Amino acid sequence: MKKTIAILILLLLSNYLLGQNRVLTGIEIMQKIDENEFYKTIQYTGKMTIHIDDQIRTKELCAQAKSKGHKALVEFINPEDYGTKYLMLDDELWIYFPSEEEVVKISGHMLKEGMMGSDFSYEDALEANKISEKYDVQITGQDTLNGNPCWVLTLEAKVKDVPYYSRKMWVDKERYIPWKEEMYAKSGRLLKEMNVLQIRKFGERIFPVKSEMVNKLRRNSKTVFELEDIAFDIDLPDDMFSLRYLQR
Amino acid sequence: MKKLLSMSLLLLATIRLFAASEQTGIKLWGSNYVDIAAFHFLNNSTDDSLKIGGMNTVSLKFHNSNKHYGKFEGNIDLLIPLGYTADQFSQLIEEGDSLSSPFYPLFVQGNTPVLLDIRKLYLSVYLPFADIMLGRQIINFGKAFIFSPIDVFSTVDVADINFRRHGSDVTAIKIPFSFLSGMDLITEFPRKHHEYSSAFRIYHNMWDFDFAANAIYKHRNKEVITGFSFKGDAFFGIYGELIEHFMDNFEKKYFEGMFGLDYSIANTYIFRTEYYYKNSNINNEWGKHNLFISFQYLINDLLNVSIHTIGSDVGGNEQMLMYMGQCNYNILQNVNLITYARYFSQKNEVKTLPDVEYAVRIEVKF
């Protein structure tokens, strides 16, 4: 009887210990990132600083987005691009140029182009919320990045319709922040690198507020993107994500 | 000279007034650009085959900041032509042809006319079921970049290096059906001695394509135009317009069509072409067969070069061709330097049009 009780206690203890140290799967880590960054709606002003050789160009924008249906409306407010707007609905994108009252649908090959001359492509913006749906995720290592212990995830495309064949991601073990991401072509060539430079706590949520994208195909070029005046889960009417609103 | 000076002071005061009232809800922005051009007449045997001209353009844009219930928007260009260009405008004003141009002569100082181009000046009201707009607007009705048979309101100005459009005086009603579909009703204000049109279109997005069914009525000509247009992606970006003209109580009918392709390689090379077929019974500036080809090479995000060619009646007896080479350099955040050269061939007896134009534009945005 004593032996049975001792085995039972040992079993319970080992179960508890295993539960504590259970290693998360790659998909679970991706889900944790999504849970941390998840919002119903978001509104912010942003600043894109584009570094080209030794020159700097700045773009300022106001953005509103809704998670449900992957909807976003972005308006540029710097004098050079004032009034230029983007409407993203799921995986479709339209640009409005106010000077000529022109609405242009961006599709296919054009999605690979840099957004307003930056190192972020339209595709980067469109697929930001869909990575876990389109890639198989494996934990392939552990690393320390700027003093932060990280999981190293390797993502391989499981569908054809992706801009990058594989990705490598450094995810903070405690806060589930993807500090660094590398995007590769099928040939194994490094195409882009993204680094989170600054995070900020909003209630329970820890959100990246400053990041940089380096396009490895362009010489001496990087774009730093900063978010300011962020408001989460505010009321945004559905009809603002429409072609009608885009042209107002 | 006094008038020019007072005009400049008035302009500065207007800018200051608008800037001061920004807190009360007016957003003002715009640009100033100067074009300096040399016009080369190759077949001119006289010594002055090379003429120097140009234009200074102040482009002011504004709208109310709070656009919740509606919008009052304007885009007013003030133009001061220089040298040979000023001579051409003065001649047009003397001949009384300026009425057909979008440029309104404010006054003439010596041989220099000061011109006004009101591109936009309209009021919008946003109702729950529709947006209603009244006044001078840019109506981008077609899908084409250059040749659009259904673009009857604000047609593309091929003489402008950016292929800009001019405003039309219209009432427009936009009724949405869903986020990506709706109906537009547009009617032009009647003008003496000029054609004016009314139009209707229903648009919808499906299978990743934007489709539109269009109907246009030209009042003076009593002509009905119907057709459809599309824009989407099938490896290449593809777009087109197919329309039928009906005249004389539907006894006569003519077909017009446009088809365009665009493609981008490695975010560096951008290619675009458009073919436009026009029936010879239709009276506009283009020939039966018309082609536009454009190629742009982005050296980096600050510097690009491009070549544009417009040919009309290619292969016919009366060819009209325009080649334009451009180099755009974004020198500073808000300063662009554009150098361009244009070659015009078979000018259809337009004697004032040079054979070659070499020019430079400096643009400052504010």
Q: Residue B146 and residue B136: Cα distance in Å, rounded? A: 21
* Residue B37 token pair: 């051009």
Contacts of A168 (CB under 8 A, 6+ apart): A140, A152, A153, A154, A155, A181, A182, A184
Rounded-to-integer distance, Cα A57 and Cα A222, Å: 11
CB distance B242 to B228 below 8 Å = yes
Parse chain A into domains and list their residue ranges. Answer: 24-246
H or E element, residue B85: helix B83-95
Displacement of CA B356 from its chain's centroid (Å): 22
* Window B:141-180, CB contacts with A under 8 Å: 154, 164-165, 174, 176, 178-180
pLDDT in tens, A41-87: 999 999 999 998 889 999 999 999 998 888 889 999 998 999 999 99
- Asked if ipTM goes beyond 0.85, one says no
Q: Which residue type, as a one-letter code, is found at position A4? A: T
pLDDT attached to residue A150: 92
Query: Cβ of A103 under 8 Å from any chain B Cβ?
Result: yes
- The residue written with tokens 């212990």 in the block is A149
Alpha helices (H) in chain A, listed in sequence order:
2-21, 26-37, 122-126, 131-134, 243-246
E strand or H helix that includes residue B5: helix B2-20
Nearest chain B alpha carbon to A110: B264
Length of chain A: 248
Out of A101-105, A130-134, A238-242, B226-230, which region has the weakest mean confidence (pLDDT)?
A: A130-134
- Tell whether A68 lies on the interface with B, counting CB pairs under 8 A: no
Task: Determine, for residues A100 and B164 on separate chains, whether the beta-carbon distance falls below 8 Å.
Answer: yes
B215 vs B202, B249, B253, B344, CA distance in Å?
Answer: 9, 16, 14, 35
As given in the structure block, the two tokens for residue A144 are: 């320390």
Which of A185-194, B225-234, B278-287 is least confident? B278-287
- Which residues, in sequence order, are CB contacts of B3 under 8 Å at separation 6+? B107, B109, B114
Of chain B residues 203-262, which have a CB less than 8 A from chain A?
205, 208, 210, 231-237, 262
pTM of the predicted protein model:
0.84
Which pair of structure tokens corresponds to residue B48?
């002055």
Say how many Å lie between the first and final Cα of chain A, rounded.
80
- Give the closest of A57, A121, A238 to B333, CB-based: A57
User: How many whole angstroms separate alpha carbon B45 and alpha carbon A196?
Assistant: 67
> How far apart are the CA of B120 and the nearest CA of chain A, in angstroms?
9
| Tokens linked to B347 | 């000018």
Please state, in angstroms and rounded to a whole number, the distance separating the CA atoms of residues A233 and B199.
Answer: 42
Instruction: Return the pLDDT at A6.
Output: 60
Give which of A99, A115, A236 to mutate to test B binding, by max B Cβ within 10 Å: A99
What's the average model confidence in pLDDT over B56-78? 93
CA distance B348 to chain A (A): 29
Secondary structure (H, E, C), A90-156: CCEEEEEECCCCEEEEECHHHHHCEHHHCCCEHHHHHCCCCHHHHEEEEEEEEEEECCEEEEEEEEE
Distance CA A212, CA A225 (A): 6
Which residues in chain B are contacts of A242 at CB distance < 8 A?
Answer: 176, 178-180
Residue-wise pLDDT for B139-190, tens only, equals: 988 888 899 999 889 888 888 899 999 899 999 999 999 888 999 999 999 9
Q: Say which residue the tokens 């009918």 belong to.
A: B253
Cα B97 to Cα B94: distance, rounded to the nearest angstrom: 8
Question: Does B5 score more than 50 pLDDT?
Answer: no
Q: What is the pLDDT of residue A122?
A: 80
Contact between chains at B365 and A108 (C-beta distance less than 8 A): no
- Cβ of residue B301 closer than 8 Å to a chain A Cβ: yes
User: What ranges do the domains of chain B cover?
Assistant: 127-255
* First and final C-alpha spacing in chain B: 26
Model pLDDT for residues B270-290, shown as the tens digit of each residue: 999 999 998 876 776 788 889
Q: Is the CB of A126 inside 8 Å of chain B's CB atoms? A: no
Q: What is the CATH number of domain A24-246?
A: 2.50.20.10
CA quadruple B157, B163, B168, B172: dihedral positive or negative? Answer: positive
Mention every residue, 6+ apart, whose C-beta is less than 8 A from residue A182. Answer: A167, A168, A169, A190, A192, A193
Residue B244 contacts residue B227 (beta carbons within 8 Å): yes
- Give percent above pLDDT 70 in chain B: 86
CB-CB under 8 Å, A242 with B179: yes
Four-CA torsion B279, B281, B286, B291, nearest 10 degrees: 10
d(C-alpha B343, C-alpha B336), whole Å: 23
Q: How far apart are CA A141 and CA A150, in angstroms?
A: 9
Q: Give the span between the Cα atoms of B99 and B191, in whole angstroms.
A: 11
